[in-house]
Structure 1
Amino acid sequence: MSAAGGAPTVQAVERTLAILDVVAERGGASAREVSDVLGYPLPTTYRLLRVLTRGRYLVHLRRERRFELGDELDRLGTCLHRQVGVPAAVRGLLGELHERAAAPALLAVRRGDDVVVAHVEDCTAHPCPPPLRFGFHEAAHATAFGRVLLAAMGPHEAEGFLQRHGTAPWTAATRCARGPLQRELASVAASGVAVEHGELIADRTSVAAGVRDRAGQVVSAVALVLERGRTTSAREREAERLVRVTATEVARHHRRRRSP
């Protein structure tokens, strides 16, 4: 688990995070299941599971011979929510957007070198589909909100971002080639709105608009996730209007908070 001097190695950290992902996605898993999914030797899997259990990142259900997520992750999640810091008023605006559109509403931000989902408003009738959730950051090139924030970077910085993060094909429709992506980003920069059809999730369309600060710079993105089978051109246009309106309201809220 550790390099010389007791510091965790990069490989060990990657392995423990991969184990947490498997347990989270499956709602619990046995050591054998984790070993089979990740291809780790069973002794290595047991050693990593013991470390995660001691840290309370996992809990071992002995009777069921399974591991589930531990309460330490909930504490870390609470801390992360606090650091991202979406104000209650902004959460309220996203809640109103969700109700008006009858669709999941998201707020995405730049966080370090990532484009991250900072807040999700959904309900049992209109749930946000996996993998989209708080903290999602893997596919800026394939999401409307990601393209809004990439377009705000400018061509040079956006190209560097895409080189570092890659442009994986999430579906058959995902635009991965640099030329089409850069042309799309230029269009988004001009219009302030991005739309993608089935590029992250095959049966979903997402629509997003940028939130601008006092200087006119895009600092975050408001998005809706629509079911493609129920999305007419009129509904898509209405979704564009709603995200623009909400993005403007979020921007006004930020300006009011920062006024003397």
Structure 2
Amino acid sequence: MATEKAAPTLIGSVQRALRLLEAVGEHREGATAKQLARKAGLPLGTTYHLLRTLTHEGYLERVDGIYVHGKAVGSLGRHREVRQGREAVSRALNRLREELGAATYFATYRDGEVEVVDVSQAPGTEAVEEWADFGATGNAHAIGQCLLGQLDREGRLDYFSRHRPQSLTRRTVTDSGVLMRRLEARPLGRPVLEQQEYMPGVVCAAVPIMVGAAVCTIALSLPVAQSHRLPAAADRLGARVGSVMERLSFTI
């Protein structure tokens, strides 16, 4: 005998609040509480109670007795866009990892900080272990060097004033003057290659990209035993990243 599927538990107050939000959306210029009550089919007292709550939480705004959507409604859409954008980036990184046979990374420079947003790895293409904070060691790895290379001089000096260059391996460059000249001398758009400056046994490459006005980079890493592959893999990453990312529209 088939078991009857239980009906879902519905929360009436949530349903009524959503009906009010929908009713507000149908009035471009906003609507009064009485108009919204009629549109949503709710008692006026219940409508006033829900309108006060939705206004307090920022989902509605009341201007001269007229209710319109508040900023919190817009943020719901932005959160969805961010989630969808992150998922698109993840898929792109997975494709690049499979094509290049290397762990891949997406990072951005946001609010004066280096931020690794997503990483794609798999057995045989493991990502670099973050044994020293990526955000504070931009001088030592390809991701940080690529992002800093896209800034102006003031932006670089600002970063190094807050994150003094750290010595992580015997290859790490820590002299601020040398670092500044090195960053300024790099040709725009070319991959950044880094060999064991962040961690012994690992080589990396990063290519600069722009996502809207955001400063970003796509990077890859390889074990030092495969360092002979790095220049060709970096060039291929630079050639492929445009076609993989150009159709993506997302918010960082």
For the superposition of Structure 1 and Structure 2, which TM-score range results when normalised by the shorter chain?
A: 0.5 to 0.7
Partner of 1:239: 233
Distance 1:184 1:129, change over 3 A: same
Question: Is the CA contact (8 Å cut-off) linking 1:86 and 1:119 kept in structure 2?
Answer: no
Distance in 2 of aligned mates of 1:149 and 1:139: 12
SS in structure 2 of the partner of residue 127 of structure 1: coil
User: Quick one: which amino acid aligns to residue 154 of structure 2?
Assistant: H
**Does 1:226 pair with 2:225?**
no
**Does 1:106 pair with 2:79?**
no
Structure 2 length-normalised TM: 0.61
Distance in 2 of aligned mates of 1:236 and 1:194: 11
Distance 1:169 1:83, change over 3 A: farther
Partner of 1:91: 90
User: Quick one: which amino acid aligns to residue 123 of structure 1?
Assistant: A
**Does 1:202 pair with 2:200?**
yes
Provide structure 1 residue ranges, at least 5 long, that are not aligned to the other structure. Answer: 1-79
Distance 1:159 1:90, change over 3 A: same
Q: For each residue in 1:25-66, what CA deviation from the matched residue of structure 2 results, as whole angstroms up to 9, or x when unmatched?
A: xxxxxxxxxxxxxxxxxxxxxxxxxxxxxxxxxxxxxxxxxx
Partner of 1:161: 159
Distance in 2 of aligned mates of 1:115 and 1:221: 10
Partner of 1:73: none
Distance 1:208 1:85, change over 3 A: farther
Q: For each residue in 1:97-124, what CA deviation from the matched residue of structure 2 results, as whole angstroms up to 9, or x when unmatched?
A: 1112211100011232210110000012
Q: For each residue in 1:174-199, what CA deviation from the matched residue of structure 2 results, as whole angstroms up to 9, or x when unmatched?
A: 01112221122123353432111100
RMSD of the alignment, in Å? 2.8
Question: Is the CA contact (8 Å cut-off) linking 1:110 and 1:219 kept in structure 2?
Answer: yes
Aligned-pair identity in percent equals 20
Distance 1:84 1:187, change over 3 A: farther
Distance in 1 of aligned mates of 2:99 and 2:129: 22
Shift of 1:93: 1.5
SS in structure 2 of the partner of residue 172 of structure 1: coil
Partner of 1:77: none
Written as runs of structure 1 = structure 2, the 5 A alignment for 1:177-188 is 177-188=175-186
Bigger-Rg structure (1/2)? 2
Shift of 1:221: 0.3
Shift of 1:138: 2.5
Written as runs of structure 1 = structure 2, the 5 A alignment for 1:1-260 is 86-131=85-130, 136-213=134-211, 219-232=215-228, 235-249=229-243, 251-254=245-248
Distance 1:242 1:127, change over 3 A: same
Question: Is the CA contact (8 Å cut-off) linking 2:84 and 2:250 kept in structure 1?
Answer: no
SS in structure 2 of the partner of residue 201 of structure 1: coil
Distance in 1 of aligned mates of 2:233 and 2:113: 25
Provide structure 2 residue ranges, at least 5 long, that are not aligned to the other structure. Answer: 1-78
Distance 1:174 1:86, change over 3 A: farther
Shift of 1:236: 1.7
Question: Is the CA contact (8 Å cut-off) linking 2:140 and 2:198 kept in structure 1?
Answer: yes
Question: Is the CA contact (8 Å cut-off) linking 1:210 and 1:218 kept in structure 2?
Answer: no
Distance in 2 of aligned mates of 1:84 and 1:144: 26
Higher-helix-fraction structure: 1
Question: Is the CA contact (8 Å cut-off) linking 1:211 and 1:250 kept in structure 2?
Answer: no
SS in structure 1 of the partner of residue 166 of structure 2: coil
Shift of 1:249: 3.1
User: Quick one: which amino acid aligns to residue 124 of structure 1?
Assistant: P
Partner of 2:44: none
SS in structure 2 of the partner of residue 153 of structure 1: coil
